[in-house]
Amino acid sequence: MKKFTYGIIIGLLVGFIPATIAATKFYDVIENSWYSDAVTRLSDLNIIQGYEDGSFKPDKNVNRAEMAVIIDRLLTYIQTGKAPEKKPVSEKLIYSDDSLNISFLYPKTWGEITKNKDLDQIQVNVKGLDKNPVTFLVADNPNFEPLGRGGYWGDWGSQIENESDVNNFCLDKSNCQTFTNNNGIKFAKYVNTEQIMMNEPKTHIDYYLFNKHSLYQGVIISTIAFSEYDYSKLTKEIEELVFSIDFVKDSGYAKKTHFDDKLKISFDYPETFGELKSNTNWEIYTLAENSGKSFLAANNPNIESPGRGGFWGDTGKNIKSKNDVVEYCSDKINETNAGKNECQILVNKAGITLAKYLNNICLSEGCSEPKQHIEYYFFNEKSDFSGSVLSTTELLNLSLTQAEEYLDMLSGTIEYEE
């Protein structure tokens, strides 16, 4: 006997139904697929209602019972012109996290969502399944080394340091695929059969995400801790949660303008930086609210460097002319780690040339710096402190993406002042 999938049934039934404008979204219905419009029309009329986990399962075979229900609903609509009543669906709640800058939907039956937060890692837990919280999401701060906790699955998110790590995650793995969720966020889904700890399930599903909107960028969501509960049901609920994840967008930020008599420049900066201060020798600007964290250093090439080892601010002494800025990026391609660093020449709105450098080299002893930081070099022709560098190195209270956004804005507004 020929078997029919839901996709085929939808194609057969949709001719009975007038077109509609509304959009109903199942997380596993691919947008602009040959059947997606038909699914929307029939779902809007409650002739098809999908599954409790928010899926439609277009490739699932339809059994006789399901076919009978679909035909009955269709006949009811044709005879009465009214849509059948929609069955109740499981209630969803929304969770939003300021530290991770993400939100997602989760079943009300999960109970309270709790969080453990340290400088190196955030763990998100569901509390309603047991007396103890059950962890399902862990996010790592790449500025800290993993704690070396053996087989703890939550540390695996430290593998994700950029979006390329997500794109390439499945290249050397079977049972692995990349996909984009309902909000355009890229994930790697890995059906993991490696059992490291005896109390772990033989098979579990891991989802990897790069979160550019948070300090905690390497994110893993896993079903591994759900093995003692209704694993099949919770696995479906986790997948639905993953498809609902969205970044909490920044609505913008207030700016101030700073004028400096010593450097003879002005620039805009985020109001959240607080009061700007400087020392008299090297004109290092600091964040008053963050214990003197530097983001701009200017060097007088006529004064010998005090030899502060790996201090990033001393690198500006190599900029002694505008030509040094232009040639800065060409020198970088000859370095040992060429290909890992990225460098580009920019010209801001005032016509000032900058070299923007994504740096993967750790200069300080013991590598206390972040694994990646961004530097902006420019030559200040109006001041004795002419070799200038902006850097994200010490802005550890911000994600690299946020720090880059701020310094992109700041460097773009630098102007000379007489």
CATH of the domain at 154: 3.40.1000
Residues 38 and 163 in one domain: no
% pLDDT > 70, the chain: 75
Take residue 162 and report the two structure tokens written for it.
């950029």
Take residue 22 and report the two structure tokens written for it.
């509304």
Residues 285 and 384 in one domain: yes
Chosen domain end from 191, 220, 247: 247
**Helix, coil or strand: residue 407:** helix
Chosen domain end from 26, 57, 80: 80
Residues 175 and 28 in one domain: no
Q: Contact, 164 vs 175, CB < 8 A?
A: no
Chosen domain end from 45, 80, 115: 80
Residues 339 and 358 in one domain: yes
Instruction: Provide the number of structural domains found in the chain.
Output: 3
Residues 191 and 224 in one domain: yes
Which range, 38-42, 99-103, 184-188, 246-250, is most confident?
A: 184-188
What does the pLDDT look like over 298-346, one tens digit per residue? 888 777 665 555 567 777 888 888 888 888 887 665 554 444 457 888 8
% pLDDT > 90, the chain: 14
In a domain, 87, yes or no: no
Residues 222 and 320 in one domain: no
Residues 338 and 243 in one domain: no
In a domain, 85, yes or no: no
* pTM of the complete model beyond 0.85: no
What does the pLDDT look like over 155-172, one tens digit per residue? 888 888 888 899 999 999
In a domain, 322, yes or no: yes
Residues 74 and 99 in one domain: no
CA 337 vs. chain centroid, Å, equals 26
Weakest-pLDDT range from 10-24, 36-50, 169-183, 345-359:
10-24
Residues 42 and 146 in one domain: no
Q: Are strands 285-287 and 204-210 parallel, antiparallel or unpaired?
A: unpaired
Take residue 153 and report the two structure tokens written for it.
């699955």
pLDDT bin (cut points 50, 70, 90) of residue 242 is very high
Range(s) of the domain holding residue 238: 92-247
In a domain, 86, yes or no: no
Residues 76 and 98 in one domain: no
